[in-house]
Amino acid sequence: MRQSNLLKKIAIVDDVPGGFSIEGGKLKEQTLKEQVKCFRKASGLLSYLEKLKQKHLVEDFPDYILIDIHLPDMDATAFLDSFARIVANMETPEIFILASSGDKKSRDLAMQYSFVSAYLEKPVPSDFIEVLIAGKGVDNSPH
């Protein structure tokens, strides 16, 4: 991805408040606020990314996106298709699909996209976000 010596940026899309427990972690609350952007709707994240691209601020794109597979405004496939159009011909953030169950059909569909790194079952451990921000322990090799 980008320079490994900098803290990574994360976008989280989940319509359930408190879907991620980041309290009590090792990172300071201010660091989390600066590095993590939360969205309730997939369309909100897509609009945010479109604006960054239009303003030529692609360096402000998140390094990682964690998105719930079932959102009220669109499903993961619709999101991934729209995301692919936005990031065409550019370095893409890694996406982690989050689900309440390990449905094989949904998992197989999501993993067809080269920028999807993993299909994770909720709840996501609180230290997972810290690991992403610190840029440690995540395999960034091409698929």
Inside any domain, residue 2:
no
Q: Is residue 109 part of a domain?
A: yes
Query: Quick check: 98 and 120 in contact, CB under 8 A?
Result: yes
Asked if residue 80 is part of any domain, the answer here is: yes
Going from the C-alpha of 132 to that of each of 51, 96, 137, the distances in angstroms are 24, 11, 8
Whether 3 has a pLDDT exceeding 60, the answer reads no
> Does residue 143 lie within any of the structural domains?
no
Instruction: Look over the chain and give the mean of its residue pLDDT values, rounded to a whole number.
Output: 81
Q: Is residue 115 part of a domain?
A: yes
Classify residue 111: in a domain, yes or no: yes
Tell me whether residue 140 is in a domain. no
- Average pLDDT of span 55-64: 93
pLDDT score, position 28: 61
Asked if residues 73 and 95 have their Cβ atoms less than 8 Å apart, the reply is no
pLDDT band at 136 (very low <50, low <70, confident <90, very high): low
The residue among 1, 24, 12 whose CA lies nearest residue 120 is: 12
Domain that holds residue 30: 10-134
Give 60-119 pLDDT, tens digit per residue.
Answer: 999 999 998 888 899 878 999 999 999 998 888 999 998 887 778 888 888 899 999 998
Look at the chain and report how many structural domains it folds into.
1
Task: Let me know if residue 19 belongs to a domain.
Answer: yes
Residue 85 burial (10 A CB sphere; 0-12, 13-18, 19+): exposed
Residue 62 has a pLDDT of 95
Q: Kindly report the CATH number assigned to the domain that includes residue 37.
A: 3.40.50.2300
Nearest to 132 by CA among 63, 34, 80, 59: 63
pTM of the model: 0.81
Task: Tokens 């921000």: give the residue.
Answer: 133
**pLDDT over threshold 80, residue 5:** no
Q: Please provide residue 7's backbone torsions phi and psi, each rounded to the nearest 5 degrees.
A: -65, 145
